[in-house]
Structure 1
Protein backbone atom coordinates (compact mmCIF):
# COMPACT_ATOMS: atom_id res chain seq x y z
CA UNK A 1 0.00 0.00 0.00
CA UNK A 2 2.61 2.51 -1.14
CA UNK A 3 -0.03 5.09 -2.03
CA UNK A 4 -1.21 5.07 1.59
CA UNK A 5 2.32 5.62 2.83
CA UNK A 6 2.52 8.60 0.49
CA UNK A 7 -0.14 10.39 2.56
CA UNK A 8 1.82 9.74 5.74
CA UNK A 9 5.09 10.74 4.10
CA UNK A 10 3.51 13.87 2.68
CA UNK A 11 2.12 14.76 6.11
CA UNK A 12 5.56 14.40 7.68
CA UNK A 13 7.07 16.52 4.91
CA UNK A 14 4.52 19.28 5.50
CA UNK A 15 5.15 19.15 9.26
CA UNK A 16 8.86 19.62 8.63
CA UNK A 17 8.16 23.07 7.15
CA UNK A 18 7.30 24.39 10.60
CA UNK A 19 5.73 27.86 10.58
CA UNK A 20 5.63 27.79 6.77
CA UNK A 21 3.55 24.60 6.70
CA UNK A 22 0.24 26.32 5.90
CA UNK A 23 1.70 28.55 3.18
CA UNK A 24 3.71 25.67 1.72
CA UNK A 25 0.70 23.36 1.65
CA UNK A 26 -1.46 25.98 -0.07
CA UNK A 27 1.32 26.58 -2.62
CA UNK A 28 1.57 22.83 -3.28
CA UNK A 29 -2.19 22.62 -3.71
CA UNK A 30 -2.05 25.53 -6.16
CA UNK A 31 0.54 23.65 -8.25
CA UNK A 32 -1.67 20.54 -8.30
CA UNK A 33 -4.74 22.60 -9.21
CA UNK A 34 -2.94 24.48 -12.00
CA UNK A 35 -1.65 21.19 -13.43
CA UNK A 36 -5.28 20.10 -13.62
CA UNK A 37 -4.66 16.36 -13.98
CA UNK A 38 -2.81 15.46 -10.77
CA UNK A 39 -4.87 13.83 -7.99
CA UNK A 40 -5.24 16.07 -4.95
CA UNK A 41 -6.66 13.47 -2.56
CA UNK A 42 -3.20 12.63 -1.19
CA UNK A 43 -2.49 16.24 -0.27
CA UNK A 44 -6.02 16.74 1.07
CA UNK A 45 -5.54 13.72 3.31
CA UNK A 46 -2.12 14.90 4.44
CA UNK A 47 -3.54 18.34 5.26
CA UNK A 48 -6.24 16.70 7.38
CA UNK A 49 -3.61 14.67 9.25
CA UNK A 50 -1.42 17.72 9.91
CA UNK A 51 -4.00 20.46 10.48
CA UNK A 52 -7.07 18.47 11.53
CA UNK A 53 -10.18 17.73 9.51
CA UNK A 54 -11.56 21.26 9.47
CA UNK A 55 -8.25 23.08 9.18
CA UNK A 56 -7.09 20.67 6.47
CA UNK A 57 -10.33 21.13 4.57
CA UNK A 58 -10.08 24.93 4.50
CA UNK A 59 -6.38 24.86 3.55
CA UNK A 60 -7.01 22.38 0.72
CA UNK A 61 -10.04 24.34 -0.50
CA UNK A 62 -8.07 27.60 -0.47
CA UNK A 63 -5.28 26.07 -2.53
CA UNK A 64 -7.69 24.49 -5.02
CA UNK A 65 -9.64 27.71 -5.60
CA UNK A 66 -6.51 29.88 -5.88
CA UNK A 67 -4.96 27.34 -8.26
CA UNK A 68 -8.05 27.31 -10.46
CA UNK A 69 -8.03 31.13 -10.51
CA UNK A 70 -4.38 31.24 -11.55
CA UNK A 71 -5.00 28.64 -14.27
CA UNK A 72 -7.99 30.66 -15.52
CA UNK A 73 -5.87 33.82 -15.73
CA UNK A 74 -3.06 31.96 -17.49
CA UNK A 75 -5.31 30.34 -20.11
CA UNK A 76 -7.14 33.60 -20.80
CA UNK A 77 -3.81 35.45 -21.14
CA UNK A 78 -2.57 32.88 -23.66
CA UNK A 79 -5.84 33.08 -25.62
CA UNK A 80 -5.63 36.88 -25.70
CA UNK A 81 -1.97 36.88 -26.77
CA UNK A 82 -2.67 34.34 -29.49
CA UNK A 83 -5.57 36.53 -30.69
CA UNK A 84 -7.93 33.53 -30.73
CA UNK A 85 -10.88 35.13 -28.94
CA UNK A 86 -12.97 35.75 -32.07
CA UNK A 87 -12.24 32.29 -33.45
CA UNK A 88 -13.26 30.66 -30.17
CA UNK A 89 -16.48 32.68 -30.15
CA UNK A 90 -17.45 30.93 -33.39
CA UNK A 91 -17.61 27.58 -31.60
CA UNK A 92 -21.23 26.66 -30.91
CA UNK A 93 -20.78 25.78 -27.23
CA UNK A 94 -18.70 28.92 -26.55
CA UNK A 95 -21.30 31.07 -28.29
CA UNK A 96 -24.08 29.44 -26.25
CA UNK A 97 -22.29 30.08 -22.95
CA UNK A 98 -21.37 33.63 -23.93
CA UNK A 99 -25.03 34.35 -24.59
CA UNK A 100 -26.21 32.88 -21.29
CA UNK A 101 -26.96 34.90 -18.17
CA UNK A 102 -24.39 35.25 -15.38
CA UNK A 103 -26.43 32.94 -13.20
CA UNK A 104 -26.54 30.19 -15.82
CA UNK A 105 -22.80 30.45 -16.48
CA UNK A 106 -22.07 30.21 -12.77
CA UNK A 107 -24.43 27.26 -12.35
CA UNK A 108 -22.85 25.47 -15.31
CA UNK A 109 -19.37 25.66 -13.75
CA UNK A 110 -20.73 24.56 -10.35
CA UNK A 111 -22.33 21.48 -11.93
CA UNK A 112 -19.19 20.68 -13.91
CA UNK A 113 -17.13 20.93 -10.71
CA UNK A 114 -19.47 18.44 -9.06
CA UNK A 115 -18.84 15.89 -11.83
CA UNK A 116 -15.90 13.70 -10.70
CA UNK A 117 -15.39 12.42 -14.26
CA UNK A 118 -14.30 15.81 -15.63
CA UNK A 119 -10.68 16.87 -14.93
CA UNK A 120 -10.35 20.23 -13.19
CA UNK A 121 -7.98 21.50 -15.90
CA UNK A 122 -10.59 20.96 -18.60
CA UNK A 123 -13.08 23.12 -16.69
CA UNK A 124 -10.49 25.85 -16.11
CA UNK A 125 -9.61 25.96 -19.80
CA UNK A 126 -13.22 25.79 -20.96
CA UNK A 127 -14.27 28.68 -18.73
CA UNK A 128 -11.29 30.77 -19.88
CA UNK A 129 -12.42 30.32 -23.48
CA UNK A 130 -15.73 32.05 -22.74
CA UNK A 131 -16.59 35.57 -21.62
CA UNK A 132 -17.29 34.44 -18.05
CA UNK A 133 -15.98 36.93 -15.50
CA UNK A 134 -13.15 35.99 -13.15
CA UNK A 135 -15.28 36.73 -10.07
CA UNK A 136 -18.11 34.48 -11.25
CA UNK A 137 -15.63 31.72 -12.10
CA UNK A 138 -14.07 31.89 -8.62
CA UNK A 139 -17.48 31.82 -6.94
CA UNK A 140 -18.62 28.84 -9.02
CA UNK A 141 -15.34 27.04 -8.36
CA UNK A 142 -15.65 27.64 -4.62
CA UNK A 143 -19.22 26.32 -4.52
CA UNK A 144 -18.45 23.34 -6.75
CA UNK A 145 -15.24 22.38 -4.98
CA UNK A 146 -16.68 22.21 -1.46
CA UNK A 147 -18.26 18.71 -1.82
CA UNK A 148 -15.19 17.17 -3.48
CA UNK A 149 -12.85 18.71 -0.89
CA UNK A 150 -15.01 17.38 1.95
CA UNK A 151 -14.85 13.92 0.36
CA UNK A 152 -11.09 14.00 -0.26
CA UNK A 153 -10.32 15.37 3.20
CA UNK A 154 -12.31 12.74 5.07
CA UNK A 155 -11.25 9.82 2.88
CA UNK A 156 -7.57 10.78 2.96
CA UNK A 157 -7.71 11.27 6.74
CA UNK A 158 -9.63 8.06 7.42
CA UNK A 159 -7.30 5.95 5.29
CA UNK A 160 -4.53 6.84 7.73
CA UNK A 161 -6.70 6.39 10.84
CA UNK A 162 -8.55 3.42 9.40
CA UNK A 163 -9.07 1.57 12.67
CA UNK A 164 -10.90 4.49 14.25
CA UNK A 165 -12.98 5.51 11.23
CA UNK A 166 -13.83 2.33 9.32
CA UNK A 167 -17.57 3.00 9.18
CA UNK A 168 -17.22 6.64 8.12
CA UNK A 169 -14.68 5.69 5.43
CA UNK A 170 -16.98 2.97 4.13
CA UNK A 171 -19.94 5.37 3.97
CA UNK A 172 -17.82 8.00 2.20
CA UNK A 173 -16.58 5.49 -0.39
CA UNK A 174 -20.10 4.19 -1.01
CA UNK A 175 -21.37 7.77 -1.44
CA UNK A 176 -18.50 8.54 -3.82
CA UNK A 177 -19.22 5.40 -5.84
CA UNK A 178 -22.90 6.36 -6.12
CA UNK A 179 -22.00 9.83 -7.38
CA UNK A 180 -19.64 8.32 -9.97
CA UNK A 181 -22.34 5.88 -11.05
CA UNK A 182 -24.88 8.68 -11.33
CA UNK A 183 -22.70 10.76 -13.65
CA UNK A 184 -21.50 7.69 -15.55
CA UNK A 185 -25.07 6.55 -16.30
CA UNK A 186 -26.14 10.04 -17.34
CA UNK A 187 -23.45 10.30 -20.04
CA UNK A 188 -24.69 7.39 -22.22
CA UNK A 189 -28.30 8.54 -21.73
CA UNK A 190 -27.47 12.07 -22.87
CA UNK A 191 -25.47 10.76 -25.85
CA UNK A 192 -28.41 8.57 -26.88
CA UNK A 193 -30.84 11.51 -26.66
CA UNK A 194 -28.48 13.66 -28.73
CA UNK A 195 -28.23 10.95 -31.39
CA UNK A 196 -32.02 10.58 -31.58
CA UNK A 197 -32.54 14.34 -31.90
CA UNK A 198 -30.13 14.45 -34.84
CA UNK A 199 -32.03 11.77 -36.76
CA UNK A 200 -34.41 13.08 -39.45
Structure 2
Protein backbone atom coordinates (compact mmCIF):
# COMPACT_ATOMS: atom_id res chain seq x y z
CA UNK A 1 0.00 0.00 0.00
CA UNK A 2 1.30 3.47 -0.89
CA UNK A 3 2.52 5.75 1.90
CA UNK A 4 -0.02 8.41 0.88
CA UNK A 5 -2.88 5.93 1.29
CA UNK A 6 -1.58 4.86 4.71
CA UNK A 7 -1.46 8.52 5.79
CA UNK A 8 -5.05 9.12 4.65
CA UNK A 9 -6.28 5.96 6.40
CA UNK A 10 -4.57 6.90 9.68
CA UNK A 11 -5.87 10.48 9.50
CA UNK A 12 -9.37 9.14 8.78
CA UNK A 13 -9.18 6.81 11.79
CA UNK A 14 -7.93 9.74 13.89
CA UNK A 15 -10.87 11.93 12.84
CA UNK A 16 -13.37 9.17 13.65
CA UNK A 17 -11.79 8.71 17.08
CA UNK A 18 -11.96 12.49 17.66
CA UNK A 19 -15.68 12.46 16.85
CA UNK A 20 -16.23 9.45 19.13
CA UNK A 21 -14.34 10.95 22.09
CA UNK A 22 -15.86 14.39 21.36
CA UNK A 23 -19.35 12.90 21.69
CA UNK A 24 -18.47 11.46 25.11
CA UNK A 25 -17.09 14.87 26.11
CA UNK A 26 -20.41 16.41 25.06
CA UNK A 27 -22.22 13.95 27.35
CA UNK A 28 -20.01 15.11 30.23
CA UNK A 29 -20.74 18.79 29.49
CA UNK A 30 -24.36 18.50 28.42
CA UNK A 31 -25.68 20.06 31.65
CA UNK A 32 -23.13 22.88 31.46
CA UNK A 33 -24.23 23.74 27.91
CA UNK A 34 -27.91 23.78 28.89
CA UNK A 35 -27.22 26.08 31.86
CA UNK A 36 -25.13 28.39 29.67
CA UNK A 37 -27.93 28.68 27.12
CA UNK A 38 -30.72 28.98 29.70
CA UNK A 39 -31.47 32.70 30.32
CA UNK A 40 -33.10 31.85 33.65
CA UNK A 41 -30.06 29.99 35.03
CA UNK A 42 -27.76 32.00 37.30
CA UNK A 43 -24.05 32.46 36.62
CA UNK A 44 -23.28 31.01 40.06
CA UNK A 45 -25.17 27.82 39.19
CA UNK A 46 -23.24 27.51 35.93
CA UNK A 47 -19.88 28.19 37.65
CA UNK A 48 -20.61 25.47 40.20
CA UNK A 49 -21.49 23.00 37.44
CA UNK A 50 -18.47 23.76 35.23
CA UNK A 51 -16.14 23.12 38.19
CA UNK A 52 -17.88 19.89 39.22
CA UNK A 53 -16.17 17.68 36.62
CA UNK A 54 -13.90 14.98 37.96
CA UNK A 55 -11.48 12.30 36.80
CA UNK A 56 -13.66 10.90 34.01
CA UNK A 57 -13.97 14.22 32.17
CA UNK A 58 -10.24 14.89 32.72
CA UNK A 59 -9.29 11.57 31.11
CA UNK A 60 -11.62 12.24 28.17
CA UNK A 61 -10.05 15.69 27.72
CA UNK A 62 -6.51 14.24 27.78
CA UNK A 63 -7.46 11.64 25.18
CA UNK A 64 -9.22 14.21 22.99
CA UNK A 65 -6.29 16.66 23.12
CA UNK A 66 -3.90 13.80 22.31
CA UNK A 67 -5.89 12.78 19.24
CA UNK A 68 -6.34 16.37 18.04
CA UNK A 69 -2.62 16.99 18.49
CA UNK A 70 -1.68 13.79 16.63
CA UNK A 71 -3.90 14.53 13.61
CA UNK A 72 -2.30 17.24 11.40
CA UNK A 73 -4.11 20.57 11.07
CA UNK A 74 -6.44 20.39 14.08
CA UNK A 75 -5.87 23.13 16.72
CA UNK A 76 -6.28 22.27 20.40
CA UNK A 77 -6.59 25.84 21.73
CA UNK A 78 -10.37 25.77 22.30
CA UNK A 79 -10.18 22.53 24.27
CA UNK A 80 -7.19 23.90 26.18
CA UNK A 81 -9.23 26.92 27.29
CA UNK A 82 -12.14 24.63 28.22
CA UNK A 83 -9.75 22.64 30.42
CA UNK A 84 -8.68 25.82 32.23
CA UNK A 85 -12.32 26.83 32.59
CA UNK A 86 -13.17 23.48 34.19
CA UNK A 87 -10.11 22.70 36.28
CA UNK A 88 -8.31 25.98 36.92
CA UNK A 89 -4.76 27.00 35.99
CA UNK A 90 -2.70 24.35 37.84
CA UNK A 91 -4.63 21.14 37.19
CA UNK A 92 -5.70 22.56 33.82
CA UNK A 93 -2.07 23.03 32.78
CA UNK A 94 -1.26 19.46 33.86
CA UNK A 95 -4.14 18.11 31.74
CA UNK A 96 -3.14 20.23 28.72
CA UNK A 97 0.52 19.24 28.99
CA UNK A 98 -0.41 15.54 29.31
CA UNK A 99 -2.69 15.65 26.28
CA UNK A 100 -0.30 17.60 24.05
CA UNK A 101 2.74 15.54 25.08
CA UNK A 102 0.97 12.21 24.52
CA UNK A 103 -0.36 13.41 21.16
CA UNK A 104 3.08 14.44 19.90
CA UNK A 105 4.69 11.25 21.19
CA UNK A 106 1.98 9.22 19.42
CA UNK A 107 2.54 11.14 16.19
CA UNK A 108 6.32 10.61 16.34
CA UNK A 109 5.89 6.91 17.17
CA UNK A 110 3.70 6.49 14.08
CA UNK A 111 6.27 8.31 11.95
CA UNK A 112 9.05 6.08 13.22
CA UNK A 113 7.29 2.72 13.10
CA UNK A 114 4.74 3.09 10.29
CA UNK A 115 5.89 3.86 6.76
CA UNK A 116 3.83 6.96 6.19
CA UNK A 117 6.27 9.86 6.66
CA UNK A 118 5.71 12.69 4.19
CA UNK A 119 9.30 13.30 3.08
CA UNK A 120 8.25 16.48 1.26
CA UNK A 121 8.40 18.09 4.72
CA UNK A 122 12.21 17.95 4.45
CA UNK A 123 11.98 21.14 2.39
CA UNK A 124 9.74 22.88 4.91
CA UNK A 125 11.34 26.12 6.15
CA UNK A 126 10.70 25.31 9.81
CA UNK A 127 12.21 21.83 9.49
CA UNK A 128 15.30 23.32 7.85
CA UNK A 129 15.55 26.04 10.51
CA UNK A 130 15.38 23.51 13.36
CA UNK A 131 17.87 21.10 11.80
CA UNK A 132 20.39 23.87 11.08
CA UNK A 133 20.45 25.15 14.67
CA UNK A 134 23.57 24.62 16.76
CA UNK A 135 21.40 22.83 19.34
CA UNK A 136 18.52 21.31 17.33
CA UNK A 137 16.74 19.86 20.35
CA UNK A 138 16.28 23.43 21.65
CA UNK A 139 14.83 24.26 18.24
CA UNK A 140 12.36 21.39 18.71
CA UNK A 141 11.31 22.83 22.10
CA UNK A 142 10.80 26.28 20.56
CA UNK A 143 8.86 24.71 17.70
CA UNK A 144 6.34 23.22 20.13
CA UNK A 145 6.07 26.56 21.93
CA UNK A 146 5.00 28.50 18.83
CA UNK A 147 1.35 27.81 17.82
CA UNK A 148 1.87 28.94 14.19
CA UNK A 149 4.28 26.05 13.56
CA UNK A 150 2.23 22.87 12.94
CA UNK A 151 3.02 20.11 15.43
CA UNK A 152 3.30 17.64 12.55
CA UNK A 153 6.18 19.67 11.10
CA UNK A 154 8.00 19.84 14.46
CA UNK A 155 7.40 16.10 14.96
CA UNK A 156 8.92 15.41 11.55
CA UNK A 157 11.96 17.54 12.43
CA UNK A 158 12.31 15.75 15.78
CA UNK A 159 12.10 12.36 14.07
CA UNK A 160 14.74 13.27 11.49
CA UNK A 161 17.18 14.38 14.22
CA UNK A 162 17.37 10.89 15.72
CA UNK A 163 17.13 12.21 19.28
CA UNK A 164 17.21 9.75 22.17
CA UNK A 165 13.89 8.88 23.80
CA UNK A 166 14.87 10.92 26.89
CA UNK A 167 15.81 13.99 24.81
CA UNK A 168 12.66 13.66 22.73
CA UNK A 169 10.26 13.34 25.67
CA UNK A 170 12.01 16.16 27.56
CA UNK A 171 11.87 18.46 24.51
CA UNK A 172 8.16 17.77 24.05
CA UNK A 173 7.29 18.25 27.73
CA UNK A 174 9.19 21.54 28.04
CA UNK A 175 7.96 22.74 24.65
CA UNK A 176 4.24 22.27 25.28
CA UNK A 177 4.22 23.85 28.77
CA UNK A 178 3.97 27.58 27.77
CA UNK A 179 0.96 27.27 25.46
CA UNK A 180 -0.70 24.74 27.81
CA UNK A 181 -0.28 27.18 30.71
CA UNK A 182 -1.56 30.16 28.70
CA UNK A 183 -4.69 28.32 27.54
CA UNK A 184 -5.41 27.09 31.08
CA UNK A 185 -4.95 30.61 32.48
CA UNK A 186 -7.17 31.95 29.71
CA UNK A 187 -9.90 29.51 30.77
CA UNK A 188 -9.46 30.56 34.41
CA UNK A 189 -9.80 34.22 33.40
CA UNK A 190 -13.03 33.46 31.54
CA UNK A 191 -14.34 31.57 34.58
CA UNK A 192 -13.98 34.72 36.68
CA UNK A 193 -15.47 36.89 33.92
CA UNK A 194 -12.14 38.57 33.12
CA UNK A 195 -12.59 38.62 29.36
CA UNK A 196 -9.95 41.30 28.78
CA UNK A 197 -7.35 39.25 30.66
CA UNK A 198 -8.26 36.19 28.59
CA UNK A 199 -7.88 38.19 25.37
CA UNK A 200 -4.49 39.52 26.55
CA UNK A 201 -3.28 35.99 27.27
CA UNK A 202 -4.27 34.82 23.80
CA UNK A 203 -2.70 37.98 22.33
CA UNK A 204 0.57 37.18 24.12
CA UNK A 205 0.70 33.87 22.27
CA UNK A 206 0.22 35.71 18.98
CA UNK A 207 2.93 38.25 19.89
CA UNK A 208 5.36 35.42 20.69
CA UNK A 209 4.54 33.84 17.35
CA UNK A 210 5.15 37.09 15.45
CA UNK A 211 8.46 37.65 17.24
CA UNK A 212 9.70 34.17 16.35
CA UNK A 213 8.76 34.72 12.70
CA UNK A 214 10.54 38.10 12.63
CA UNK A 215 13.70 36.59 14.20
CA UNK A 216 13.58 33.67 11.77
CA UNK A 217 13.26 35.94 8.73
CA UNK A 218 15.98 38.28 10.00
CA UNK A 219 18.42 35.37 10.47
CA UNK A 220 17.51 34.06 7.04
CA UNK A 221 18.31 37.42 5.42
CA UNK A 222 21.69 37.55 7.16
CA UNK A 223 22.43 33.99 6.07
CA UNK A 224 21.68 34.89 2.43
CA UNK A 225 23.99 37.91 2.64
Q: Note whether the superposition's TM-score is higher than 0.5.
A: yes
Structure 1 residues 119 and 156: CA distance shift in structure 2, 3 A: farther
Aligned counterpart for 2:200 among listed residues 162, 168, 171 = 171
Aligned to 1:23: 59
Aligned mates of 2:155, 2:28 — CA distance in 1: 27
Q: 1:44, CA displacement in angstroms?
A: 0.8
Gapped regions of structure 1 (runs ≥ 5): 1-8
SS at 2:114 equivalent: helix
Q: How does 1:142-157 map to 2 (within 5 A)?
A: 142-157=173-188
Runs of 4+ in 1 over 6 A off after TM superposition: none
Give yes or no for the alignment of 1:45 onto 2:81: yes
Aligned to 2:224: 195
Aligned mates of 1:45, 1:58 — CA distance in 2: 13
Pick 1 or 2: higher relative contact order, CA cutoff 8 A, min separation 6: 1
Aligned mates of 1:15, 1:166 — CA distance in 2: 21
Is the 2:144–2:175 Cα contact (8 Å) retained in structure 1?
A: yes
Aligned to 1:6: none
Aligned mates of 2:184, 2:24 — CA distance in 1: 14
Q: Which moved more, 1:130-139 or 1:26-35?
A: 130-139
Aligned mates of 2:76, 2:200 — CA distance in 1: 20
Q: How does 1:25-174 map to 2 (within 5 A)?
A: 25-79=61-115, 104-158=135-189, 160-161=190-191, 164-174=193-203
**Number of equivalenced pairs:** 173
Q: 1:169, CA displacement in angstroms?
A: 2.1
Is the 1:50–1:56 Cα contact (8 Å) retained in structure 2?
A: yes
